[in-house]
Amino acid sequence: MPESKSPLSGVTVIDLGQIYQGPYATFLMAQAGADVIKVEPLHGEPLRRSDLRGEGPSFPLGFLNSNKRGVTLNLKSEEGRGLLQRLVARADVLLENFAPGTMERLGVGAEKLMTANPRLIYASGSGFGLSGPDRDRRALDVTVQASSGVMSITGAEGGPPMRSGPALADFLGGVHLYSGVVTALYERERSGRGRLVEVAMQEAVYPTLLSDLGLMYRGGGVQLPRRGNHHGAVAPYNVYPTRDGHIALLCISDEHWLRLLQAMDREDLRDDARFASPVTRTENVEEVDAVVEAWTRELTRDEVCKLTELHRVPSAPVRDLAEVTSDPHMHERGMLHRIDHPELGEVVLPGSPIRIHETSIPELVPSPSLGQHNDELYGTWPGLSEEEIAGLRERGVI
Amino acid sequence: MPESKSPLSGVTVIDLGQIYQGPYATFLMAQAGADVIKVEPLHGEPLRRSDLRGEGPSFPLGFLNSNKRGVTLNLKSEEGRGLLQRLVARADVLLENFAPGTMERLGVGAEKLMTANPRLIYASGSGFGLSGPDRDRRALDVTVQASSGVMSITGAEGGPPMRSGPALADFLGGVHLYSGVVTALYERERSGRGRLVEVAMQEAVYPTLLSDLGLMYRGGGVQLPRRGNHHGAVAPYNVYPTRDGHIALLCISDEHWLRLLQAMDREDLRDDARFASPVTRTENVEEVDAVVEAWTRELTRDEVCKLTELHRVPSAPVRDLAEVTSDPHMHERGMLHRIDHPELGEVVLPGSPIRIHETSIPELVPSPSLGQHNDELYGTWPGLSEEEIAGLRERGVI
């Protein structure tokens, strides 16, 4: 998979990642040209062996593991751990997102591996990090959304705290972990040494709270109640229904509001004291919404979009997933690819959001089947014979 | 600010970033030891000059600009652009998140700057990227949430599409941009050349949709309706009210469910056919929720947490922002710092979620006031005299 002119060509990654956080970090590495070896237990990583309803192959697995090579390895066997150490001896990066302490318990912890290979970058993704009183609390995207404060600021006015639909804790964790590994690769060019890199999902999420943290400080330490699609200090700022969908629309400045009045053909409201400033519009947010909604309800989503664009009022159509996956813009830019995946059939899969001009982008290669590259990898890298590989299989090592 | 042993020590960054996306990317650089020069127009970047209610200093500005030096520079003056080019001649990175084409229109676009300094990494953050039909669509966190599909999968059953509270588009954009810059720094060690790096918020958000994309493919291309805090294929999976707050709780496996029955002292339901498997529990999700809620309602949040932890059922308290900012775990780990900020007073500010062991972490230095380092920077780097600096001030260049 490595491309000669890709930014991370020549970098070899042992990828013990599972589910979302770890595999997204190594997905970004593979897309930047690293040689990523996805190492799975003999029954596959959790995402492969269970898609929760137990039907057919897992789309998320296919989504996150393009351009990786796949091997199996039983880390619960002595021989398997020995094989891991042989792989690690020649690797630049080992990445895992097991519960903290798992690798130590298996006898292949960071310290041991980095002593054997001082240039190794050992990357650990977890919910709460490798230290501190909460280290061993179990973490999933949804529980991190709860404990990190994300749920407390999402949801309708008067309603319960709500989950954000996107898996933001996993992915913010994953991309920060990628960042940490590449930062350590850069540092290694000077120091000659690998580093232990760690990212906690809860910490990766924290910065995203800053608007609400600011409003809390302004309120003397008291958090604003949940406010659905409202902003709290800007109006209009909402999601409005149209004849055939929804549109998000907001006016940050008075100029936006005056232009919106033009778009709505409601310039009779120009001098209305209720709508004269952001402060009075926020105080009269229900009347503001009523005026805007009376207009949007009569039009289609695209008609509203056309008018707000013409009058330069910040807005966007609320698009569904089918629209997004077939977005001509992202397809034209090469971010999205429609491919025929051997296990999933025809699906749209993404490339990397990180775009570095004048470096080569690998062609998208579908995710490996379980153990697809066992013969190829074990035959060339530790250089085992066919008989040795057959023996490993028989003994349940690979 | 650079520390001798920080991973990015020796890297100089000209930071034209504004609002959230750009400044978060350079925040991560500053926390990794780069010398980040925040360059603002004479009236300050948008976040400084307007916090939307026009009262006092901006908490988000203070949050995102720790450990940067701050200067002013008028890019609309010929002389100002000349000064920028002198700064760029010695910089490793220039980062901006203006609307695409802005820098070209000013006559200081990527091509020109990179021709003058071929080692320069030019980083551009935007909503939709530097190419494609949607390039010039205006983007804010909330409009990207609408157009990227995030809103379509967030919100209550039967309710309107909903914004996620956290500024996830801005921050996913920002950390991918950091990633791109560091990847290009690493590549430069081999190629000797800088690169144009770009990240589009919409593309940085796309991977977070994968669970729902998977459910859509499974449904033959039809997106599931919004489902609030429910999962759609796992039950229980919800946010439950307790006597004094809420708890997120889920049972991925049958084992979790059996352990939850123990925790609730409801082992009478062990053999209830309605609850026998993930499939039947999902079909009977209302009854499942009723059983769980009858239990959580009678207890405090912490009592429920203690019992679910004891019985190893995945769960987490829904915490509010005051709890999160005073979280003993994140303070002990050095992620959160309580500091006395010269403009904001006593606030909690974060360090970097990227943790690289055995490299030094800079002490947190509060964000600069507008133009705080004008004399220091312009006096030493382009090496201007006091008179020259005074002249620039008089002519409205800095």
Q: Which of B150, B210, B246 lies nearest to residue A161, judging by beta carbons? A: B246
- Asked whether residue B185 is domain-assigned, the answer is yes
Query: What is the pTM for the complete model shown?
Result: 0.97
- pLDDT over 50 (residue A145): yes
Same domain, A126 and A20: yes
Helices A301-310 and A254-264: crossing angle in degrees, nearest 10, is 130
Q: Domain containing A305: what range?
A: 237-319
Percent of chain B with pLDDT over 90: 91
Sign of the CA dihedral with B352 first, then B354, B357, and B359 last? negative
B39 & B114 share domain:
yes
Set of chain A residues whose Cβ sits within 8 Å of the Cβ of B320: 149, 152, 223
Q: Which two tokens stand for residue A177?
A: 């972990």
DSSP state, residue B164: -
- Does B2 score more than 50 pLDDT? no
Helix (H, G, I), strand (E, B) or coil at B248: strand
Residue B1's pLDDT band (boundaries 50, 70, 90)?
very low
Crossing angle of helices B285-296 and B254-264, rounded to 10°: 40
Tokens of A248: 């998000």
Examine the pLDDT at A228 and tell me if it is beyond 70: yes
Task: Pick the residue from chain A with its C-alpha nearest to B29.
Answer: A183
Lookup result for tokens 């400033």: A277
* Burial zone of B271 (CB within 10 Å; 0-12 exposed, 13-18 middle, 19+ buried): exposed
Catalytic residue ranges of B: 231
Strands A121-126 and A355-356: unpaired
Structure token pair of residue B300: 């405090």
pLDDT tens-digit readout, B41-95: 999 999 987 655 555 678 999 999 999 999 999 999 999 999 999 999 999 999 9
**Closest-approach residue (CA) in chain A for B173:** A353
What order of strands is seen across the sheet that includes strand A355-356?
A: A355-356, B196-200, B121-126, B93-96, B12-15, B35-40, B68-72
> The complex's ipTM?
0.97
Residue B165: the pLDDT is 96
Q: B314 and B332: one domain?
A: no
Domain shared by B284 and B332, yes or no: no
Residue A236: cis peptide before it, omega within 30 degrees of 0: yes
Boundary residue ending a domain (B287, B319, B351): B319
Q: Give the 3-state secondary structure of B1-54.
A: CCCCCCCCCCCEEEECCCCCHHHHHHHHHHHCCCEEEEEECCCCCHHHHCCCCC
**Chain A, nearest residue to B187 by Cα:** A7
Same domain as B166, residue B68: yes
Report whether B71 contacts B374 (CB < 8 A): yes
Collapse the DSSP code of B398 into the 3-class scheme (helix H, G, I; strand E, B; otherwise coil) and give the result.
Answer: coil
Binary contact (A333, B142; C-beta < 8 A) = no
Q: B129 and B113 in one domain? A: yes
A83 has a pLDDT exceeding 90? yes
Within 8 A of B315 by CB-CB distance, chain A residues are 143
Q: Do A321 and B7 touch (CB under 8 A)?
A: no
If one counts the domains in chain A, the total is 2
What is the secondary structure of B350-392 as a DSSP string?
E--S-EETTSPPPPP-PPPPTTTTHHHHHHHSS---HHHHHHH
State both tokens at B269: 């339901």
**pLDDT given for residue B233 in this prediction:** 83
Interface contact flag, B166 A168, Cβ < 8 Å: yes
User: Coil, strand or helix: which one is B103?
Assistant: helix
Say if CB A154 and CB B164 are below 8 A apart.
yes
How near does any CA of chain A get to the CA of B37, in Å? 20
Q: Chain A contacts of B246, Cβ < 8 Å?
A: 146, 151, 160-161
Percentage of residues in chain B with pLDDT exceeding 70? Answer: 97
CB count within 10 Å of CB A338 equals 11
pLDDT at B48: 86
What digits encode the pLDDT tens for the residues B326-381? 999 999 999 999 999 999 999 999 999 999 999 999 999 999 999 999 999 999 98
Residues B171 and B50 in one domain: yes
Placement of tokens 């890298």 in the chain: A381
CA distance B177 to B195: 13
Residue A42 resides in a domain: yes
The residues facing A123 across adjacent strands are A95, A197
- Whether A58 and B214 lie within 8 Å, measured CB to CB: yes
Distance from CA of B82 to the nearest CA of A (A): 26
Q: How far apart are CA B22 and CA B103, in angstroms?
A: 15
CATH number at residue A135: 3.40.50.10540
Among A11, A20, A28, A52, the strongest candidate for a mutation testing the B interface, having the largest count of B CBs within 10 A, is A52
Considering the domain boundaries, does residue B229 fall inside one? no
Cβ <8 Å between B179 and A178: yes
Does residue A17 sit in the same domain as residue A91? yes
C-beta of residue A170 within 8 angstroms of C-beta of residue B182: no
In a domain, B69, yes or no: yes
Please tell me whether residues A201 and A264 are part of one structural domain. no
Residue at which a domain ends, from A319, A350, A371:
A319
**Which amino acid, one-letter code, is at B289?**
D
What percent of chain A is modeled with pLDDT above 90? 91
Asked if B359 and B6 count as a contact pair (C-beta separation under 8 A), the reply is yes
Nearest CB to B129: which of A165, A207, A333? A333
Give backbone dihedrals phi and psi of A110, rounded to 5 degrees, phi first: -55, -45
Can you give the pLDDT at residue A55? 58
Q: Which residue of B has its CA nearest to A163?
A: B229
Q: Is A316 in Cβ contact with B143 (below 8 Å)?
A: yes
Residues of A in Cβ contact (< 8 Å) with B216: 321-322
Look-up: residue for tokens 């990527």?
B110
Task: Give the tens place of pLDDT for each residue, A101-127.
Answer: 999 999 999 999 999 999 999 999 999
- In this prediction, residues B204-208 reach a mean pLDDT of 98
| Phi (first) and psi of residue A397, to 5 degrees | -90, -35
Same domain as A344, residue A272: no
Average pLDDT, chain B: 95
Among candidate residues B300, B319, B338, the one where a domain is terminated: B319
Amino acid making up residue B40: E
Report CB contact under 8 Å: A204, B164.
Answer: no
Q: Does a structural domain hold residue A176?
A: yes
A246 inside domain = yes
Per-residue model confidence (pLDDT) at position B218: 87
Peptide bond into B236 cis (omega under 30): yes
- Cα dihedral B199, A366, A370, B279 sign: positive
Contact B319 A146 (CB under 8 A): yes
Measured in angstroms, the CA of A183 and the nearest CA of chain B are apart by 6
Element containing residue B201 per DSSP (H, E): helix B201-205
Please, are residues B131 and B200 in contact by the beta-carbon 8 Å criterion?
no
**DSSP designation for B219:** T
* Chain A nearest CA to B132, separation (Å): 5
SS3 per residue for chain A: CCCCCCCCCCCEEEECCCCCHHHHHHHHHHHCCCEEEEEECCCCCHHHHCCCCCCCCCHHHHHHCCCEEEEECCCCCHHHHHHHHHHHCCCCEEEECCCCCHHHHCCCCHHHHHHHCCCCEEEEEECCCCCCCCCCCCCCHHHHHHHCCCHHHCCCCCCCCCCCCCCHHHHHHHHHHHHHHHHHHHHHHHHCCCCEEEEEHHHHHHHHHHHHHHHHHHCCCCCCCCCCCCCCCCCCEEEEEECCEEEEEECCCHHHHHHHHHHHCCHHHCCCHHHCCHHHHHHCHHHHHHHHHHHHCCCCHHHHHHHHHHCCCCEEECCCHHHHHCCHHHHHCCCEEEEEECCCEEEEEECCCCEECCCCCCCCCCCCCCCCCHHHHHHHCCCCCHHHHHHHHHCCCC
Quick one: B30 and B122 in the same domain? yes
pLDDT at B55: 58
- The set of catalytic residues of A is 231
Q: Tell me what the pLDDT averaged over chain A comes to.
A: 95
Residue B123 phi, psi (nearest 5): -115, 130
Task: Tell me whether strands B68-72 and B35-40 are parallel, antiparallel or unpaired.
Answer: parallel
What is the pLDDT confidence band of residue B318, given thresholds at 50, 70 and 90?
A: very high
Residues in chain B closer than 8 A to A168 (CB atoms):
164, 166, 168, 172, 208
Residue of A nearest to B180 (CA): A354
Q: How confident is the model at residue A1 (pLDDT cuts 50, 70, 90)?
A: very low
Query: Confidence class of residue A3 from pLDDT cuts 50, 70 and 90?
Result: very low
> What single-letter DSSP state applies at residue B268?
G
The Cα A58–Cα A62 span in angstroms is: 7
Q: Is residue B351 part of a domain?
A: yes
CATH number of the structural domain spanning residue A295: 3.30.1540.10
Q: How many CB atoms lie within 10 A of CB B224?
A: 15
Say if the Cβ atoms of B154 and A138 lie within 8 Å. no
Contact check, Cβ <8 Å, B223/A320:
yes
Tell me what pLDDT residue A48 has. Answer: 87
Is residue A373 situated within a structural domain? yes
Confidence of residue B3 (pLDDT cuts 50, 70, 90): very low
- Same domain, residue pair A247 and A345: no
Arithmetic mean of pLDDT, B188-215:
96
